[in-house]
Structure 1
């Protein structure tokens, strides 16, 4: 059993966006709900949530009592809140001081804050999970990599798509297709998300960091043993987000990455597009990719699993319970097999096991999406931003 601190209390953690329940597919949140269930299962001890504004917790408690309790009447949704009063950008430090070394810290905050919070957590002796993108620059990545290694701590990127059984099988298939030739990936969110992300969109990060990170990580994971990225060029579309937010914000960003196969020297290309101006549809987020190797190809539409549901309340929707299953079973949460849940559980279990067997860290750095094996993801995302800003190809 291990204690956990969650830094960040937004939509992905609590299911709340702005002043009310999120209108996305995560109205119950992912992180807090998963940890409440893990506590019932004896995997997690105390749960701490750190935000910036103490007043925000009144809305969170109300949401949990009203909505989570209506679905899961017996679920314990209690937690320790930081700051206890007032406003503080560093309330998470209060929580760190209350926790034992070797506990878990999970970071779900705006992209530009990841580095400092992760550094503080590592220096406090905590295992750390960070939402994608892990950090925004290669320099930050290498600094955290050095610190995690020095401390013997697990620092893992939260990229739940690796735990999707269909995506994971695709990666296994891809590794049998010989040299890498081509990949196209696309991921979008509706333009209503620009309201959710209004405080940072186009200021401290962009949609490529936020969404392209998923499929870039998947490709880096799939080809890590036989291909490497060599250059990146980025292009963007504009016209919607800048009007909505009244500042310069890209609507859609496309990264074109040149790859080199290590043994043959043959070249490959990947094209990754992310957008946050999609119209409402049957899914919250379109997400798909096509991969072609020298001897085979894969085509996956992750948003559509052949499972449609229509109700008077929300109309027709394409359902994906493989990610998070919110529908209760006999009054209890029943989503333990969802890949969103499994991503969190894997980090919790791995952190707990490291307290007993520190030598397992080397194995985790080979098999899990850790700071040790995700450097190319950071390099590509950073190069994409530089390419947009400087208007040129960036060589890695």
Structure 2
């Protein structure tokens, strides 16, 4: 199969590991997207690599950071990368010019603020590019439906980067649930990041998105994937906690809890899921607490993603619970050796899928089977997140997710009418 050209849209923490003029104070100091694309180029799956942001003045610092954290660490890995806009330019629409230099069948990888995803993705789709978007793919069900329609019309592959599906613990839990735990009864999921992340995200926190879109989206997508054909979400009620962010001058919730009523498809019985996310947690042994409890009518599962029994303590960094299953940054014989980590596999699987579509051996619709989180199979997640935001803005009023008959694809979100 031919190699593909890749345009990375977004230059922040997840792409480069560079935030505020230095390495991100998180578990992604060397980034994920750029490192993965450079390695895929080394392995002859990717050819040309571009990177697009808004502020070109950041690129000299980004290049120095990537050389220090990637090039100097992994055997002189080739970091050749075209950048948009120019180093001295600031251009919020730079993605239009950047994507114009790529061709149909190339790949756009979008890691930008949530409220920009729709416009950037639609621009790439209309140019015939395959697109992978960080979660949430968009903030509104209506926009999700528009992207799905455009992707079908253009015959391109569009998916959400939700790597939890590739976490071996989460994937095994999903198989056990679908293999014999009966109807859905109850789930509680929690995910957090330390409060210093509010400084990392201060440019958009509470302005263009919130912590539910940013973190609850992980466990919500896992639920949609796990319960596909088993249950569907029908009602969302949201509550929030405040104080820390507002003390920093950010008008946003510290923690958001979504209570979601799910309806089992076989007999219309009900289950309940509670998703809580926070970016006001204290600094601890992990950057992000991540765990869930799931109960079906015939069994239950507990998963603590943050603590897998692997700990490290150094004079420089102190004590930490580490997760090389996500990203293995430690080199082997001077070379990057994290190809088996699910942070890498998430992108590599998508690149491989795009190459298969370009070769004609597969169609985009072939990946709607759950092997990728495609734009056509993830609309319930968007509906839950949007309904949650609507409920918060309506002082906790429940929001109903509507469907066309007994289908799985939501059609609308409306305030619940009490009898």
Scaled by the length of structure 1, the TM-score of the pair is 0.98
What's 1:200 paired with? Answer: 204
Instruction: Give 1:270-285 correspondences, 5 Å limit.
Output: 270-285=273-288
Deviation at 1:67, TM superposition (A): 2.3
What's 1:37 paired with? Answer: 39
1: CA distance between counterparts of 2:393 and 2:100?
40
Does residue 1:229 correspond to 2:233, yes or no? yes
1: CA distance between counterparts of 2:35 and 2:204?
25
RMSD of aligned C-alpha atoms?
0.9
361, 380, 386: which is aligned to 1:382?
Answer: 386
168, 173, 180: which is aligned to 1:170?
Answer: 173
400, 410, 415: which is aligned to 1:395?
Answer: 400
What's 1:2 paired with? Answer: 4
2: CA distance between counterparts of 1:25 and 1:345?
20
What's 2:69 paired with? Answer: 67
What's 2:253 paired with? Answer: 250
111, 115, 122: which is aligned to 1:112?
Answer: 115
Deviation at 1:74, TM superposition (A): 2.2
1: CA distance between counterparts of 2:352 and 2:149?
23
Q: How many residues align?
A: 395
Comparing 87-96 with 232-241, greater Cα deviation is found at: 87-96
Contact 1:152 1:358 in 2 (8 A): no
Deviation at 1:247, TM superposition (A): 3.7
Comparing 59-68 with 336-345, greater Cα deviation is found at: 59-68
Point out 4+ residue stretches in structure 1 off by more than 2 angstroms: none
Deviation at 1:358, TM superposition (A): 6.3
Scaled by the length of structure 2, the TM-score of the pair is 0.93
- Listed as ranges, the gaps of 5+ residues in structure 1 are none
Change (3 A) 1:65 1:259: same
1: CA distance between counterparts of 2:347 and 2:250?
35
Deviation at 1:69, TM superposition (A): 2.4
1: CA distance between counterparts of 2:149 and 2:233?
22
2: CA distance between counterparts of 1:167 and 1:38?
25
1: CA distance between counterparts of 2:322 and 2:16?
21
Contact 1:230 1:259 in 2 (8 A): yes
Does residue 1:98 correspond to 2:101, yes or no? yes
What's 1:139 paired with? Answer: 142
What's 1:151 paired with? Answer: 154
2: CA distance between counterparts of 1:10 and 1:21?
10
